[in-house]
Each structure stands twice: as C-alpha cells, then as structure tokens.
C-alpha cells in the first residue's frame, strides 16, 4: 500500500481525507528497485497480463473461507515485518476468503462481503435501506450522464439479490451468483459506473487527488480510463467514492513489508453511517484484496 502526498488543502465542502493507496492486482511484495537492468514497460505489462490470465484459468472468482493461519504458512519464510503484521491481524480476525486477482478484486470483495454480512446477521433494516438507496443511485447515475439502458440490467441483478435477503437468498446461492462470470461481472460493471458517477458529481472533492496522480488526467478521462473499464486496477479514490455512494462503513487492513510492525486499519465511514458497525472487512496485500472475518467474541 503506497502513501502519496495529498494536496496541501482539502476541498472545503468535505472533512474526510483521502489516504493514497494503490489497489492494484499485481502479485507479490512491493520491493524497492535497485537494479539498473530494469525490465522494459512492455515486458512488465506482458508479465502482468500473463499472471492475470493464469489466475483466470486456475483460481475461482470467490474462494472458500480458510483459516488466517494459511496466510502465515504461505509467507512463513518471507519478510518478518510482513509476518509480524499478519500475526497482529490474527488477534482480531480468524478466517479469510480469497478472491481472484483479475483487476476487479476490490469491487468483487466489497460487494460479496457486504451482502454476506447481511445474510449472516439477518440485517433486514440495512436490506431495506439499500433497497431504497439503489433507487437513488439510479437517479444519481442518470444525473451524471449515464443512459439507463446501459446499466438497468446490471442494477436489476443486484436489486433482485438485495430484495431476496431474509427470504429465499442463501449464502450458498450468493456464492453461486458471485462465482458466475456473467452475473458477477454485471454487478461489478454497475458498481464501476456508480463509482464513476460519484466522482464526477463530486468533482471539487476528487479532482485534486486525480491531478495528484497525473497532470494529464482530468476527472472525465480518469473515470473513462481507470474506473469504468472492467479489469482496471483500483486506487483509494475508487474506494472512497464507492463507500460514499452506497453509504457502507468499511474497514481495510493493509499488509506490507515496511517497518514498524504495527497494524492500523483504514476506515471508510460515510457521514450517514457514523454510528453503524462495519459491514465490510477487507485485507489488502501488495496488489490484491481479499475478505477477512472478525473473530466471534
């Protein structure tokens, strides 16, 4: 997770800072490049695409729930700082669910974790809130310039599953939905367009951070190239925009190999959800997001 300098002044109409993180899908630890024979950009992109293609062929979209100790075994001969942070995570979380590395892991992890949390807690109050809120999201997207024809089917798929919470939708059926390429990607497409709409409608807030990434990207170009396109990596702008658009409190822990050995979560709490429990818990490792589950107390 990489921190970059934020603009010197936050937009006046918001009081929530954005902490820069890169939420890409590349595998492995981020290491400082000290070699002079660095691969060409073309070679890096080629290797990155090969990794993604292999992931698509060998890993499920949504994996099973496994003990968090499996992560420790995976990195037991790796960086001690990384392992130390993982052990700290184990004090609060006991299990995790892997999600495919395909460029969509943040969106896939986020929506799966949210619906799963409602199914497990039988949270019908939140279900009813979301049913009404998705109607507002539809109007927001139209206001941002999206034609309803473009997203209405994708929105309908998500609305149907939300409506079924507490009725016929089971966790197993939700796993099947999110393991289906077509259904899952329709939902992710909708979330990407909603994220784009949120960014564009709150230009004054997000524009300074977009300009901080690149001085050649304006808001529309950023959304068109880096938000709306499937399989494109996400950064913290996506996370802030989506959690605000859906008003879902979210907690994310980041594991990396940089000292000191401490683990402080990044919390995304929209104003309307200030006193609500976190409904989404994610684990960020360099280049990837998975879902984590708090230990029952």
Residue 102 falls in the annotated catalytic set = yes
- Asked if residue 42 belongs to a domain, the reply is no
Q: 271 phi and psi, to 5 degrees?
A: -55, -40
How far, in Å, CA of 178 to CA of 61, rounded? 7
DSSP codes of every residue in 181-231 = HHHHHHHHHHHHHHHHHHHHHTHHHHHHHHHHH-TT--HHHHIIIIISSTT
Q: 202 phi and psi, to 5 degrees?
A: -120, 50
Half-sphere exposure in the Cβ direction for 44 (13 Å, CA): 7
Q: Which of 133, 238, 281, 288 is catalytic?
A: 288
Confidence at residue 45, expressed as pLDDT on a 0 to 100 scale? 52
Helix (H, G, I), strand (E, B) or coil at 251: strand
- How many domains is the chain partitioned into structurally? 1
Q: Which residues form the domain of 221?
A: 59-294
Q: Is the peptide bond before 144 cis (omega within 30 degrees of 0)?
A: no
Polymer length of the chain: 297
Q: How far is CA 193 from CA 45, 61, 91, in A?
A: 25, 20, 37
- Asked if residue 27 belongs to a domain, the reply is no
CA 127, 133, 135: angle at the middle one, nearest 5? 115
Q: 296 phi and psi, to 5 degrees?
A: -70, 135
Helix (H, G, I), strand (E, B) or coil at 131: helix
Is there a contact between 85 and 261 (Cβ–Cβ < 8 Å)?
A: yes
- Asked if residue 145 belongs to a domain, the reply is yes
Q: What is the CATH number of the domain that holds 94?
A: 1.20.1300.20
Q: Which of 77, 105, 153, 231 is catalytic?
A: 105
pLDDT tens for each residue of the chain, 297 residues long: 434 333 333 334 444 444 434 444 433 333 334 344 556 656 545 555 556 566 665 799 999 999 999 988 887 777 899 999 999 999 999 999 999 999 999 999 999 999 999 999 999 999 999 999 999 999 999 999 999 999 999 999 999 999 999 999 999 999 999 999 999 999 999 999 999 999 999 999 999 999 998 888 999 999 999 999 999 999 999 999 999 999 999 999 999 889 999 999 999 999 999 999 999 999 999 889 999 999 986
- Asked if residue 172 belongs to a domain, the reply is yes
How far, in Å, CA of 191 to CA of 109, rounded? 12
How far, in Å, CA of 270 to CA of 278, rounded? 11
Structure token digits, residue 153: 């089917």
- Asked if residue 12 belongs to a domain, the reply is no
- Asked if residue 52 belongs to a domain, the reply is no
- Asked if residue 154 belongs to a domain, the reply is yes
Q: Which of 102, 235, 244, 290 is catalytic?
A: 102
- Asked if residue 131 belongs to a domain, the reply is yes
CA 48 to chain centre: 19
Residue 105 falls in the annotated catalytic set = yes
The model's pTM is 0.83
Confidence at residue 296, expressed as pLDDT on a 0 to 100 scale? 83
Q: How far is CA 12 from CA 72, 240, 273, in A?
A: 43, 17, 21
The structure tokens 């990489």 sit at: 2
Is there a contact between 205 and 13 (Cβ–Cβ < 8 Å)?
A: yes
């Amino acid at each position: 997770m990489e921190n970059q300098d934020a603009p010197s002044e936050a937009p006046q109409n918001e009081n929530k800072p954005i902490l820069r993180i890169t939420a890409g899908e590349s595998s492995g630890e981020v290491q400082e490049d000290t070699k002079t024979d660095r691969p060409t950009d073309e070679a890096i992109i080629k290797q990155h695409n090969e990794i993604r293609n292999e992931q698509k062929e060998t890993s499920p979209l949504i994996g099973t729930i496994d003990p968090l100790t499996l992560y420790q075994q995976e990195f037991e001969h790796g960086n001690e700082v990384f392992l130390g942070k993982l052990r700290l995570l184990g004090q609060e979380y006991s299990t995790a669910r892997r999600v495919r590395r395909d460029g969509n892991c943040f969106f896939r992890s986020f929506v799966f974790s949210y619906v799963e949390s409602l199914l497990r807690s039988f949270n019908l109050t939140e279900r009813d809130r979301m049913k009404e809120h998705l109607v507002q999201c539809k109007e927001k997207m139209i206001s941002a310039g999206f034609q309803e024809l473009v997203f209405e089917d994708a929105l309908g798929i998500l609305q149907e599953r939300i409506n079924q919470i507490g009725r016929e939708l089971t966790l197993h059926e939700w796993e099947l939905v999110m393991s289906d390429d077509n259904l899952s990607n329709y939902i992710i497409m909708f979330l990407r367009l909603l994220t784009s709409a949120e960014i564009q409608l709150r230009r004054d807030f997000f524009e300074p951070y977009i300009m901080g990434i690149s001085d050649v990207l304006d808001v529309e170009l950023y959304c068109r190239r880096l938000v709306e396109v499937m399989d494109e990596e996400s950064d913290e702008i996506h996370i802030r925009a989506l959690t605000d658009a859906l008003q879902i409190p979210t907690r994310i822990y980041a594991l990396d190999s940089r000292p000191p050995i401490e683990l402080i979560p990044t919390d995304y709490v929209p104003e309307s959800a200030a006193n609500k429990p976190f409904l989404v818990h994610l684990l960020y490792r360099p280049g990837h997001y998975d879902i984590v589950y708090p230990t029952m107390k």
